[in-house]
Structure 1
Amino acid sequence: MNRRRSLSIVVALLLAVLTVSAQDDSPRQMLEQAEEAYQIGRILEAKKLAEDCVKRLDNAQRLSGYRLLSLCCLALDQQDDARRYAELVLKENPYFTPTIDYPPRFVDMINDIKQGLTTTISTASNQSESVNEAPVPITIITAEMIEELGYNKNLNQILAAYVPGMAELASTSIRPGENLAMHGAFAYGQELILIMENGHRLNNRFNNIGSTGYSISLEKIDHIEVLRGPASSLYGNVALSAVVNIITKSGRDINGVRARYGYGSFNTHRADLLAGTQFMDADISAWASLYRSDGQIRHFNDGEGYYKEYASPVARYYNFMVNYYSGPDKIYVDSYRDTPSYDLGFAFRLKGFNLQFSHKSGKKLFQTASYCGYDYSHYHSINNLKPGNALDETHAEIGYSRQLGKFSLDASLYGDWYSFRRYEVWYDSLSSLSYKYDENGYIYDEEGNKIYDIEEEGSRSNYESFKENTIGGMLKVGTDYRIANMKGNLLVGCQFEHSSAGSRVYFYGDEDDFIREGSYYYEDLALVGTENILSLFVQDKHYFTPHLIMNAALRYDQKSQNDEKQTTFSPRLALMYVPNDRFSLKLSYAEAFADLALFYHYVFNYSYELSPQRLSAFQLTAMGKIAPWNLNYEVNLFYNNYTNLLCLFTRNDADSYSFNKRLNSGQLKNAGIEATVRYTNQRLSGALNLYYCHNIKCEDYYYNDMEKTVTAVPHFTMNLHGAYKLIQTANHELKVYGHASYIGRRLNQTEYLKDDYYVKAQALFDLGVKYSYRQRLDISLDCENLLNSDRYLCGPLDTFHPIFQRGRNLMASIAFHI
């Protein structure tokens, strides 16, 4: 009897569990039934089942429910409802991409919404909003656009290709690496544009540089949001001329494991690994990338002969002595040897919690030694570094978001750790001729020749390293409100950061061992390299009517350093007129700043007044779409007033080159226009962007008074991009893509104003082809600089000549997705 009773209880419990499980799975089962009904043409039944279950689906399934409802409405010719559900699909995943299996009308509708003004972004106002309501001009670069530029590109090249107003230029010779100018303004390194990853700042605080090289994986990127113009009202320091926010792919987007490997010219290797999944309410993604290249070897008399002064032996005259510096006839162009660039990281999201971590490393060779060529293989490594400039960086952030009634709460804690290392070669060998002299001058032999002594030296080089640590936190609170028939959203926040430079190591010596002869120096920078920054900000997005919107913001930053305090206010005011989803007109005024970082305070020992670099800008933007032609367009007029720009060396007249006593007294006023047009349909896509800038006034900056132009940067650029799917079936896709860029002539700055010369305009072409099988296997071949043109970058170089970029290079790659 007891056995029967026990068996009855067990059976009852099993039935209860099965019943609960069935109840838990019923929304999912209903969705599966709806999918089956749709496949056999029972559209009304499929729609009703989907409508009954979609609100009860979890996050992982809700997108599928909205997608099915949109398809059902299209089949029933309910166009408005179909579009509404398609917008909900993109609200769940703004960058959802339909495959060829979907009906063409659904594909066109998704592409129309994605490419139109309703695309959702989060960078412009620190909250989700459509592009047409963003207070500043926006450029969105999708993963597909990145892929269509080729696997051999880095972030710097991607931004220069797609963002009007951005241009590549050289860094100073003591910092070989990538650099960008925006609207004609630039610095020694990439210091005036804020680079972020999922909203986390990547620019260091020691010298404000944000890396845009191969230490950033491109495969992990879902899309990039670029704010063109000043943005310190929300982001504070460094957001002077633009903000670049890299949004990584979610685990749901990756949904498995993807591996890619490429091999190309100059013994270049590139590899990427992505993994991601979503389960329950958790989403996790991880990535790893690696890049290594011997780079291209050029010679001193190649091209236009800009390097000919480096041909050995190089003579330098010093009163009664002449030094002859010698080295091989080698120029290392885009060389990343021995130590590869890499990017490792992950992102984890669970309901309101999010955690992200990344570690990046990049090292690039100097093109030449300080005085001549050098033999890279001749030098031993120091602290695992051979000659070059290296940066290691680690970023971590934990955040929490929650809705508390009418209020939204966002809080985060973060940390950044950097290690800077520079190993620079001065020369491979030195011959010093010391002329003998007395009180009457040179001493001559019987034949009238100067008498001299010769001293031979081996190589000389120096090694230097710095460390920097930052911890900080941010709190933001937002709420919606209504006033009569008007509504709005108010956002307030505060942020605190503590940054410190840990230590500096410097030593130099003869030969390559740094032991036989040399000098060693160590300094603790904790006292001179510590700063605290407290920031408060507020933003109000106010709808006077559904079509007339105001976005006003103000940020207050207070920096404490060495018992000195510096305060900065950054306002922004924008008015947007949005009559419909096909047109938007914006007028904005904003101010921004980029503080001169710890590096400059330390190097000049606080001997100079170092005010923040500032920008005040007006922008007028019209954007819209012409639906019958599948066109989207944007035209932006801008006026910029830069003050306190940094220029360590300025020319006060045509015959002198002198040190500027105030360091950052540069002023630049310019105005210009940007225009972008994009065409998209099912098989063909294309984009064109144009940029023109006119200098109005410039002082104490990289400027030539005779030519009335800023040096190093082009004043006109054009980029044309296109892609066409030759084959597009359920299993196969074959796509060709190409990119053409025109970079106007640039004035290269030399030691004397009268000697400045123009680097001629350049037209460059890239071409690629990609084959995909069932979205599981991809094979691609990319060619950069198709015509093998000699191309150069100008910049704030103390060598006073343009530097080479690499010539034609090929890369073949293969990718698997499981």
Structure 2
Amino acid sequence: MRKWIVTFFLLAASMAWAQDDSELRQIYMQAEEEYTIGHFDASIRLLNENIAGFDGALKTSAYRLLSLCYLGKDHVQDAEKYASLLLKEDPYYSTSIHDPLRFADMIERLKRGEEATITTASQQAESIEEAPVPVTLITEEMIKASGARNLKEALLAFVPGMTDIESNEEMNIAMRGIYSSGQEKILIMLNGHRLNSYSTNTSRPDFSISLDKVKQIEVLRGPASSLYGGVALTAVVNIITHTGYEINGAEVKIGVGNYGQVKSSFLFGKQYLDWNIMGWASVYNSSGEKVNVPVEEQMGVLPVPGDIIIGGFNKKPSFDVGLNLGWKDFSLLYNTNFSKTVAPYSMSYFFAPYSYDRYRTFQGNAPGFAKLSHHLNASIEKQWERFQMNAGFILDMENQSRYQIAGDTVPDVGYNMFFPVGTNDTIISTKGAFQYHNWQETTWGGFLKGNYQYNLSENHKGTISAGLQFDRFHLSDSYYVEGDNFDRVLVTYDDKKNLYVGSEISVSAYAQVKHQWKDFLILNAGLRYDYKKRRNNQVIQEYSPRLALILIQPKWNLKFSYAKSFVDAPYFYRNNTLDTTTGGENLLSEYLHSYQLTFVANDWFKDLNFDINCFYNKATDFIVPDGLVYTNAGRLENIGCELSSSYSFRRFKGWFNLTWQYVLSSDKYNVKGHDVYNVPTISSNLILMYEIFRNFNVHTHLNVLSDQTSLYEIPDEQGNMFSEELGIPARAVWDVGIDYKFNRFNVEFNINNLLNKTYEQGGSSIAPIRQRGLWYMLTLSYKFNN
């Protein structure tokens, strides 16, 4: 009997809720009809009387309709008020072809000005001017104007302070002179979900992250551990995807280019009532550019004749597949992606060309660093009058493998000894020697965060934010293989030369207050506490504070901020018996203290926006190699200034950025004088776009870098390290492109390195590596509208 009573009440409650929802939807449709026939006041009355009951997509639509009604009455100030509320509700709202041009222009103007455009800086919707740290916002239009093919190219084009770094096995970036062997200092997120590996802290900005799905990219320049914990050491990159409403149909894209480039993508989106669905799929394959490197020009210990492959992504192509699903207050994100870069040279100090196609595959992977990732984020968000709460569950699974080549022909120099049976059965490999390491990891967890808006008086208002997060990381499997003759496995290790299997638990909590005095001064202060229990039961505790003061004026603002960030030593470094990456459990966190002073101007001069940021960084306890052992011994103290600007006039748009960096002091960090090795003192980018006639654009990107110094470092015949400095000349690389839209078709043609400039770039490899020459791609897309 009790069961039937409970069932009855649940059924009655659901029917009542459905009825209320249906009635509210009917009221909105009635208001829309009144607007259509020009009864603006009647529509406004219906919406205002019921606005408190609207929720989710219905509330966004109500704000839009109110703004349209006031535009119809020519009450621009009221129209902007409701357009601002719309942007607060949905910071990534985009207009459609059905919106009046006046409304669309107003939305775009508000976005460019002082209304809500980002959520990454403070975990709440706010304008760029209100953000407590310098922010770079990269829009879909900017990506197209730069001709960027992947995330790395987009970031290097628009984010001051970011410069190219070569690591032989994967794409890498330095931020203000700070980098590691892989990209493990910058947090990369997809709609707020972490993409960095939990075992290595790395996330590669390559073709595993498709740009076709991107609406905008929000980049926080500087430490952000106060909100995001570890990995957010030098910057945060948050990739925001389109919504189903914005796409409203499907798009198919196919591209071909030189050096075996083939690209295809599919984008789908639709909103129906309270459902919003968006999906994407992208595949990229490249044979790569083959370049002959004469023996006398090679830097490794064993020079051999042959070709290197530049920009190769093949055997198993890179792909990015995902789904965004929204229903009322519930949202679901799923993403799976894969990439494997072809390493131009063989491993470590061998550093020579090798026959990539002759070596066997493991799990379908040819030589290179491969990473297959799965990401799931399910959350529910509730909004009350002043309180907003978000709770969710995350799941990340990764399969990584590092497949390295010693060389096609390897003389007996003691580097290539294998022990198939034991130490008394030594084989000296002299042909097709390789090693393959594979590991698998799983991380699951949950989060709870919320924002409370308070209004103490007319002159004092703000937001209090807080959050909790729990993560459990588990490395479930790892094995290591050595072999020769291109395909013969000599020995498989399950314990020695391997990663330890184990689990780690992380718990964190943060709190932040954003207080505004009148309309001219904002205080943004936050603190995060991170607790980690390592595999060996060692406990790590970190505190990450942030403080910012922002002075806001009608056409400019000034902000000063201090922040401390950290990144814990990667699990990969702390829990392995690999000869080249020992360091053990004694490795601790790395730290960065940063002070920044930023001046931002909007329309100070007509149609010109710019910001100037000066920073002081003090990085300590960097993990650096001391022979074959890693220690927390590195230190870097540097300053710099960054300028970024944008200009728009009729059919012309342009973006420019310039960065200057200067090292004050360092210890056990790759520095020569006042410069970091492989990082230019001055770097700049100029991107221009001009609409020749309707829907036909030409664009160009010029990247100019000052000269660099690279360090060439290998062991001599006695095994001692031998170092030599190599100068890399200043360079200018020029990209051009066109795009033309005709009805539902769109054609793009991009040429990278138009002048076929020959240059090299250094980084974590033992010597600089030749970069790609002239590459081009022709892309055709077709849009299916509903």
Superposition TM-score tier, normalisation by shorter sequence: 0.7 to 0.9
Shift of the 98–250 alpha-carbon distance from structure 1 to 2, 3 Å rule, reads closer
- 2:510 corresponds to: 537
Distance in structure 2 (CA, Å) of the matches to 1:123 and 1:23: 32
- 2:165 corresponds to: 169
- 1:571 corresponds to: 545
Q: State the SS of the aligned residue for 2:586.
A: coil
Of the three residues 636, 649, 662, the one matched with 1:694 is 662
- Structure 1 residue 813 and structure 2 residue 779: aligned? yes
Of the three residues 764, 770, 783, the one matched with 1:804 is 770
CA positional deviation for 1:457: 3.7
Q: State the SS of the aligned residue for 1:120.
A: coil
CA positional deviation for 1:183: 0.9
- 1:130 corresponds to: 127
Shift of the 82–30 alpha-carbon distance from structure 1 to 2, 3 Å rule, reads closer
Distance in structure 1 (CA, Å) of the matches to 2:280 and 2:97: 28
- 1:437 corresponds to: none
Question: How many residues get paired?
Answer: 730
Q: State the SS of the aligned residue for 2:488.
A: coil
Tell whether the 8 Å contact from 2:477 to 2:501 is kept in structure 1 after alignment. Answer: no
- Structure 1 residue 478 and structure 2 residue 470: aligned? no
CA positional deviation for 1:72: 6.5
CA positional deviation for 1:602: 1.8
Letter in 2 for 1:743: L
CA positional deviation for 1:579: 3.0
Q: State the SS of the aligned residue for 1:181.
A: strand
Tell whether the 8 Å contact from 2:88 to 2:116 is kept in structure 1 after alignment. Answer: no
Tell whether the 8 Å contact from 1:108 to 1:681 is kept in structure 2 after alignment. Answer: no
Q: State the SS of the aligned residue for 1:663.
A: strand
CA positional deviation for 1:277: 0.8
- Structure 1 residue 234 and structure 2 residue 234: aligned? no
Judge which range, 571-580 or 231-240, deviates more: 571-580
- Structure 1 residue 669 and structure 2 residue 637: aligned? yes
- 2:15 corresponds to: none
- 2:485 corresponds to: 511
CA positional deviation for 1:103: 7.4
Q: Kindly provide the CA deviation profile for residues 59-82 of structure 1, in whole angstroms up to 9, marking residues without a partner as x.
A: 657767766765665676544234
| Unpaired runs of at least 5, structure 2 | 1-20, 415-427, 714-720
- Structure 1 residue 178 and structure 2 residue 171: aligned? yes
Q: Kindly provide the CA deviation profile for residues 405-460 of structure 1, in whole angstroms up to 9, marking residues without a partner as x.
A: 653321111111111112222111245599xxxxxxxxxxxxxxxxxxxx994311
Q: Kindly provide the CA deviation profile for residues 178-235 of structure 1, in whole angstroms up to 9, marking residues without a partner as x.
A: 1111111111110100001111111011110012100011111111111000000110
Distance in structure 2 (CA, Å) of the matches to 1:299 and 1:676: 39
Distance in structure 2 (CA, Å) of the matches to 1:756 and 1:584: 43
- 2:77 corresponds to: 80
- Structure 1 residue 387 and structure 2 residue 367: aligned? yes
Judge which range, 469-478 or 85-94, deviates more: 85-94
Q: State the SS of the aligned residue for 1:390.
A: strand
Tell whether the 8 Å contact from 1:348 to 1:356 is kept in structure 2 after alignment. Answer: yes
Letter in 2 for 1:462: Q
- 1:645 corresponds to: 622
- Structure 1 residue 223 and structure 2 residue 216: aligned? yes
Shift of the 482–138 alpha-carbon distance from structure 1 to 2, 3 Å rule, reads same
Distance in structure 1 (CA, Å) of the matches to 2:688 and 2:97: 20
| Unpaired runs of at least 5, structure 1 | 1-19, 38-44, 317-324, 435-454, 650-658
For residues 117-266 of structure 1, the aligned pairs below 5 Å read 117-150=114-147, 153-171=149-167, 173=168, 176-266=169-259
CA positional deviation for 1:117: 2.9
Shift of the 329–601 alpha-carbon distance from structure 1 to 2, 3 Å rule, reads same
- Structure 1 residue 589 and structure 2 residue 565: aligned? no
Letter in 1 for 2:741: S
- Structure 1 residue 614 and structure 2 residue 591: aligned? yes
Of the three residues 363, 369, 374, the one matched with 2:346 is 369
- Percent identity at matched positions? 34
CA positional deviation for 1:111: 3.3
Shift of the 475–89 alpha-carbon distance from structure 1 to 2, 3 Å rule, reads closer
Letter in 1 for 2:408: D
- Structure 1 residue 726 and structure 2 residue 692: aligned? yes
Distance in structure 2 (CA, Å) of the matches to 1:21 and 1:111: 32
Distance in structure 2 (CA, Å) of the matches to 1:347 and 1:24: 24
Judge which range, 262-271 or 522-531, deviates more: 522-531
- 1:413 corresponds to: 393
Letter in 2 for 1:410: N
CA positional deviation for 1:674: 0.8
Letter in 2 for 1:541: K
Distance in structure 1 (CA, Å) of the matches to 2:160 and 2:74: 40
Of the three residues 324, 343, 352, the one matched with 1:347 is 324
CA positional deviation for 1:576: 1.1
Letter in 1 for 2:391: A
Shift of the 607–392 alpha-carbon distance from structure 1 to 2, 3 Å rule, reads closer
Letter in 1 for 2:134: P
CA positional deviation for 1:483: 4.1
- 2:285 corresponds to: 292
Shift of the 30–70 alpha-carbon distance from structure 1 to 2, 3 Å rule, reads closer
Distance in structure 1 (CA, Å) of the matches to 2:331 and 2:195: 18
Compute the TM-score of the two structures, normalised by the length of structure 1.
0.84
Q: State the SS of the aligned residue for 1:646.
A: strand
Distance in structure 1 (CA, Å) of the matches to 2:160 and 2:301: 43
RMSD in angstroms over aligned alpha carbons? 2.8
For residues 732-747 of structure 1, the aligned pairs below 5 Å read 733-747=695-709
Q: Who wins on radius of gyration, i.e. which is larger?
A: 1
Shift of the 82–727 alpha-carbon distance from structure 1 to 2, 3 Å rule, reads farther
Tell whether the 8 Å contact from 1:266 to 1:293 is kept in structure 2 after alignment. Answer: yes
Q: State the SS of the aligned residue for 2:544.
A: strand
Letter in 2 for 1:258: E
- 2:423 corresponds to: none
CA positional deviation for 1:119: 3.8
Shift of the 558–64 alpha-carbon distance from structure 1 to 2, 3 Å rule, reads closer
Tell whether the 8 Å contact from 2:404 to 2:436 is kept in structure 1 after alignment. Answer: yes
Distance in structure 2 (CA, Å) of the matches to 1:403 and 1:97: 21
Shift of the 213–387 alpha-carbon distance from structure 1 to 2, 3 Å rule, reads same
- 2:522 corresponds to: 549
- 1:321 corresponds to: none
- 2:18 corresponds to: none
Q: Kindly provide the CA deviation profile for residues 20-43 of structure 1, in whole angstroms up to 9, marking residues without a partner as x.
A: 9999656435525634x5xxxxxx
Letter in 2 for 1:140: L
Tell whether the 8 Å contact from 1:529 to 1:598 is kept in structure 2 after alignment. Answer: no
Tell whether the 8 Å contact from 1:60 to 1:279 is kept in structure 2 after alignment. Answer: no
Letter in 1 for 2:570: A
- Structure 1 residue 359 and structure 2 residue 328: aligned? no
Distance in structure 2 (CA, Å) of the matches to 1:568 and 1:29: 55
CA positional deviation for 1:502: 1.7
Shift of the 585–667 alpha-carbon distance from structure 1 to 2, 3 Å rule, reads same
